[in-house]
Every structure is written in structure tokens, then in C-alpha cells.
Amino acid sequence: MAARSVSPGGALLRASRMFALPSPIPPPPNDSSAGTNFNSDTATLAFPTHQVITTLSSSRKQGDWGLKRPLPLKSTTKSSNPMLRVKAIDTIEQITDYSSATDHGITLRKFQELGMPLSARRPASGDMKDTTSTMNLPQKSVFEESFDMTDIHPDKRAEAMDSRWKFTGPWLAGMTQGEFNKWLAKHVRPKRPEFRQFLKKKIASELHAAAAKEALDKGLEQPALMDASAVTEDQLIDYLRKLRHDNQALYDMVGQFLDLAPLAPPTVSQTGLPKEKVSTLTFNEMKNPYAERGPPITHPSAGLSYLRTSMYMENHPIYGPQKHHTPVVARVLRPRRQAQAAAARLGVAGFVVNTPLGDTGFNSRSGHAVFDKIDPTVEGGAKVWVQAQRASVDSSGRVVLTVNDTTREAQLVAQELLGEAVCLGVQPAENEMNKRESASDIRQRYRAADSPAMSSAQDYGLRE
Amino acid sequence: MSCRQWLSSAARQCQSALAQQQPRTFSTSAPVAATRSLFHDNTLSSTTPNSRRPRASSANPSEALHGLLTDGLERGGPLSAEQQREVMEQQQGGARAYVRDLRTNATTENYVRQMPRRWRIGELYAPRDLTPAEMKKWRQGRRPNKDVVDMLGFSPLDNYRNFSLISEFMTTMGRIKHSDDTGLRPVNQRKMAKAIRRAVGMGLHPSVHRHPEILRLSRHGLPTSAIPTPSDPSQNRL
């Protein structure tokens, strides 16, 4: 219906790439707060900021990407994965600014190949390290109704505090002192009269509730709704004095007014309980999954996966349902250096991943594993088989994957599927397509054959 | 048998072992093969206790016991020629493995040095990020693009006694770093420079090199964060 009301020119514009391309999102912050100024401005960003566009092969041959002008064939037709990001459709030099986007495009494909759901509670990264007591706690999908509330009535926003992931106010625990001071001066102080009005409304509703209860007790008629303007200044000052002595109530009011992101409950030193107990308690009692490490900057799934659970079985055509998901090959990005107490870093599906905690092969003391050394003779670098365990998006938009050791059987089955291993003594079928023949092999084969390889006039009986 | 006699017999055995060993390892010509066949019986009989050990323990308990007993006897007495040769070979093999480990370690260290990027969890990489050209960029430090003083909201002038902070904004030769390197905005750069001058002028911080306390820590390989934090200077103000 809506499309019909648009003029033909308007419809054409709407369908064009010019309008279909969303404006780019801000890049991930580089960690100047971590004290490191070592970075590269050309490194692959932790998440894509521009829309990735693609085109059909026939159009690509003509340079047609649906943009204002055809793109150069030399740089766009060679890749086997046509993916581009357009930084500017038109510049003052009258060119289209584009670059290859295979880095993020292929990463998305690889991630989807893992078949992982994204969970709400993010595992450790950066400063917040996972421990053996927290690593195996159960996770919930980001698409659970209790977490994934986006369409909320403006009056019910305070009630839905624990099930939201988007807040207009900041997450106080993630601010530095300087940022906090600036925020106070710039955003909070000008709101003083508004806050007084907000409190007056609260007082009015509280007074009304009290009056209504009394009326109900006495069997009288319900009083009319009280207006905020009826609250006197004295009442407000009294209420403010009361609030000042009740930290929790004050924080609730301020948090509700500024729409602050929730904060984590008390820590070990405040409760005096053992550490493990507190971490488990925090896990069970904390209603909002983002209170501990900050709310995410996007939807907590980041659009990477729409699966809700990993509780499904993979079926093998010969061996039947598999206990484990298919393991994947991880690249050893940095070897483990025991002298520097530096753990190995793995790359799974293009994401940098920590080695698993606890009693795994990655934590054995012997320094003779693949991830303990760099062997320049190994083509393509050292790789290990791992089992992707869970994934989630952290508050800065990075995807944090957790991997574990794979079992021997799962690895063997996966390797057999790739043709790298043999199960149950069955030789892999000789595949004509995969067989590699050198030029001399082919020549010999043709020489050894009885009949001539190439047909000649003689074969057709044309010449004696 | 005196001690010296025992030693001399052992030395003789050692020499004979070397004499036996050399032709076996280096030559396969006919005369040597003949001598090897001469010695063959001898070598067999001397190696049997060692080679029999695992077999005996699994096959027959009484035989195993016998093997153990003879082992015990042999362990007490001087080593036979062949055993000595084995021990030497083992030692040589161990040394070879050790050298190989060292070499692998050195290779790894060299390659790790070529890869200055510290992969953080959740970062993304494409094949291009593993190339030397990209890795080189991670080696050079860049100017911080955020004002640290503004970010942390502290006053540099109150921190003139904080030598780890002062050191951070000085070169190793004792000069105040330029704002190109510190990334501070002019106001904060001036305040920081004043704090440095104050610290040096009061004799709290050396003007020619790093603070000795920081040097001590770096000698022990400890980070600067190992220094206990001083109490909040704003509370000390009158």
C-alpha cells in the first residue's frame, strides 16, 4: 500500500543503493584506557561499520554494483567473493570510495558455520577474566523474552529495568572519574528542576496511594488523583531529606530519572561470604545480565546468529546422531610462552579466542604441544582442533567465543569428512576429481594407452 | 680389590667399549663386519639383562624376580662395556634433544618478536592482519588520542610526589615529553610540565634519568603498577 502512494521517481530512488545503504556506525573504541598506544589504523575492525554489498556475477563483469557509476573491473572482478563496502557513493573528486569487505563478510559466514547461539551473559574478556568457578555456569539465549524487550511503553520503562539492554543513561561502573565529572556537569546539573518535578510526581502518587488505602479501610469513596502541582515545596524538602538518608531509595529515584544502566550487586568484601559463593550468588540473583559488565552497544546478538540454543544433535550420514558438535580447526595466533606466563591465543572463525580454562590439554605443563612453538616448516602455521562452546557479544561490541578441547572421536569424524583421516579402516573412495596428476603423469598415461588419445582422420576411416 | 684397581679396570673397559663401538657405527666393510660377528655373541649376552627386563616382568614372575635380582647385582657392580656405551648414547641423545629444544625455543622467540600485536579476546583478524606489513604497524607506539588527565579527572599539580606518574611524562634523559607524545591538551600539558619541574626542583625526582625506585622494579622485571599507590593527595591538602 505504501509503495503505491510513492511517485515512480521516488520508488526508483528508494530501491536504489543510494538509499538502501545505511549510514555507517561509529567504529569500536580503541583501548587508550588500557594504557597501550600500540595499534594499527588499517587493522580489521572488531565489527563492521559499513554495509557490505554484493552483486551478481553477470553484473560484476560489467562493473555494475548498483551504484552511481560502474566500479573498476581490475580490482573488483578478481575476488571469488564479491563483497564491497562503499565509504562514499560520490566524492568531490567524482569517484566512488570503496574497499573490499571480505574480511567481515567471510567472518560472518564462518561464524554461521559454527552453528552457535549467542548467550546473554558475556564470558570473560579484557580485565574481567573468567575463572574456573564461573566458566561453566549456565547461559541463556539473548532472544529469551525476559532479556529481549525492545518495545516498551514509556511509562513501564522503570519496571522493565531488568529485562532491557538499552538505556539512555550511562553505565556508571564503566565510566572513568573524568568522564563521570564531565557527565555530571554537562548532563545532570541542568536537569535539577526536572528532577524536582519528577519527585513531586512521585510524592503525589505516594500521597494518593496512602489516601486511597485509608479511604478503602474506612469504607469511604476513593479520592481523586492528586496533581503534582498540589505538592508544596515543604513536602518536597521533607521528602528530599528522607531520601538523603536512604541510599537505595535515592539510587532508585536517580536511576529511574536518568535511566541509568543497572549496576552489579555487592562484592566479596561487602558481604563477607566466600568468593565462590558470591560469584554464584551474583550469577543467580542478578536479574539483568548486563549489570556486571555493562550493557551492549548493539542488540546483544549483534545479528550474528538467530539460534536460541545449542541443544541440538548433528547427524552423520553413516555414524548417526553425534554426541558433540563438529569441532573446528583453530589457528594458533600466538604461541604459549611459559617463561612470560603468556597463554596461547587462538583464532576461531576469524575471532581471537582464549585457550580454555581448567583441566584441558591447553593447560598441561609439558612444553611440547603445537601451541608452544612456532615451527616455520609447518605450512600455514600451527592449527589445533577445538570445540566451540559458547559465544556472546561484550559491551564494546566484540564477539567473545569460548572454546574447549575436542574429543578424539568428534575430531576423527570431522577429519574424515574432510578426507584427512580414515575411520574403521575404510579407505577413502578414490576420487577422480581430487586426484592430483602432474603433467608427466598425464603424458605417460596417454602414451601407455592402446588407442590414440586424440582422434584422427584415420579413426573415422577417412584415410587409409 | 682396591679402589684404584677397580678404577683402572673400568677405564680399560671403557677403552675397549670405544674400540668396539667405532667400527660399528662408522664402517660396514667386510673386515669390520667380521670383527662385529666375532663380538656378536658377547654383545648379545651382555645386553640380555637389559632387554629382558620388560619382557620378563610380563611373562613369568619367577623369571622376573631373577631378572630383578641380576639387575640389582649389576647395578651394584661396575658397568659392562656395552652398558657404558648405552649410557653414553643416552646422554648424547638427551643433549641432542636439549639442543633441539633450545633451537626451537630460539626460533619461536625470534618469530614472536616479529609479531608485536597482542591479540585481545574478541578481536577480529583477516589474513591481511597476519602479514609483516600490518604487524610492523603494531610495533611503533602512537600518540594517545585521548587526554589522560581529562579522562581520569586528576590534577597533575597535586601529584608531583607520584614519581611513577612523573616518570611517565619524562624521557629517559630527563626531559619533559612534548605534547605530541603525551597527547595532553595545552592546559593539562602545562600543568603536567609544572608538576615535573616542581618534583625535580624539590629533589623528589632525578633530573637525568628514571626514578631509582622504577629502575629497581624494572631490574626485577616487575611492572610499575607494583608500586604501592600513595594516599590521595587531595586529602592531604590543608
Q: Which of A252, A287, A255, A282 is nearest to A267 (CA)?
A: A282
Distance from the A393 Cα atom to the nearest Cα atom in chain B, whole angstroms = 9
**Measured between CB atoms, does B142 come within 8 Å of chain A?**
yes
List where CATH 4.10.640.10 sits in chain B. 148-231
Distance from the B210 Cα atom to the nearest Cα atom in chain A, whole angstroms = 19
Torsion of CA B98, B104, B109, B110, to 10 degrees: 130
Distance CA(A83)–CA(A76), nearest Å, equals 9
Lowest-confidence segment of B68-72, B97-101, B181-185 by average pLDDT: B68-72
> Residue written as cell 652398558?
B83
Hey, are the CB atoms on A38 and B124 less than 8 Å from each other? no
> What is the band of A459 on the pLDDT scale with cuts at 50, 70, 90?
low
At A118 the pLDDT is 92
Grid coordinates representing B20 are 668396539
CATH of domain B148-231: 4.10.640.10
Hey, are the CB atoms on B120 and A125 less than 8 Å from each other? yes
Which residues of A, range 43-62, sit inside 8 Å of B by Cβ? 43-47
At A269 the pLDDT is 61
The interface predicted TM-score of the complex, written ipTM, equals 0.78
Chain A residues with CB under 8 Å of B128 CB are 44, 103
Distance CA(B172)–CA(B207), nearest Å, equals 9
Distance from the B26 Cα atom to the nearest Cα atom in chain A, whole angstroms = 31
> What is the band of A181 on the pLDDT scale with cuts at 50, 70, 90?
very high
Minimum Cα–Cα distance from B137: chain A residue: A40
Hey, are the CB atoms on B122 and A179 less than 8 Å from each other? no
At A3 the pLDDT is 47
At B51 the pLDDT is 39
Higher pLDDT, B224 or A369: A369
Residue pair A273/A281 in contact (Cβ under 8 Å)? The answer is yes
Distance CA(A370)–CA(A335), nearest Å, equals 8
**Measured between CB atoms, does B225 come within 8 Å of chain A?**
no
Distance from the B95 Cα atom to the nearest Cα atom in chain A, whole angstroms = 16
At A49 the pLDDT is 94
Residue B39 has pLDDT above 70, yes or no: no
Chain A residues with CB under 8 Å of B130 CB are 333
Q: What is the pLDDT of residues A77-126, one digit of tens each?
A: 998 999 999 999 889 999 999 999 999 999 999 999 999 999 886 544 44
Grid coordinates representing A24 are 555507517
Q: What is the pLDDT of residues B194-224, one digit of tens each?
A: 999 999 999 999 999 989 988 888 888 777 6
Give the phi and the psi of residue A386 in degrees, each rounded to 5. -135, 165
- Length of chain B as a residue count: 238
Give the DSSP per-residue string, A177-237.
HHHHHHHIIIIIGGGHHHHHHHHHHHHHHHHHHHHHHHHHHHT-PPPPPPPGGGS-HHHHH
CA angle in degrees (0–180, nearest 5) for A142-A148-A153:
170
Higher pLDDT, A327 or A283: A327
Distance from the B155 Cα atom to the nearest Cα atom in chain A, whole angstroms = 11
- Residues 6 or more apart in contact with residue A110 via CB below 8 angstroms: A349, A350
Mean pLDDT, rounded, of chain A: 83
- Residues 6 or more apart in contact with residue A3 via CB below 8 angstroms: A11
> What is the band of B21 on the pLDDT scale with cuts at 50, 70, 90?
very low
Hey, are the CB atoms on A400 and B121 less than 8 Å from each other? yes
Helices (H) and strands (E) in chain B, counts: 11, 0
Mean pLDDT, residues B49-67 taken together: 43
Hey, are the CB atoms on A337 and B112 less than 8 Å from each other? yes
Distance CA(A222)–CA(A216), nearest Å, equals 7
Chain B residues with CB under 8 Å of A46 CB are 122-124
At A288, the amino acid letter reads N
**Measured between CB atoms, does B111 come within 8 Å of chain A?**
yes
Which residues of A, range 169-188, sit inside 8 Å of B by Cβ? 176-182
Distance from the B212 Cα atom to the nearest Cα atom in chain A, whole angstroms = 22
At A85 the pLDDT is 94
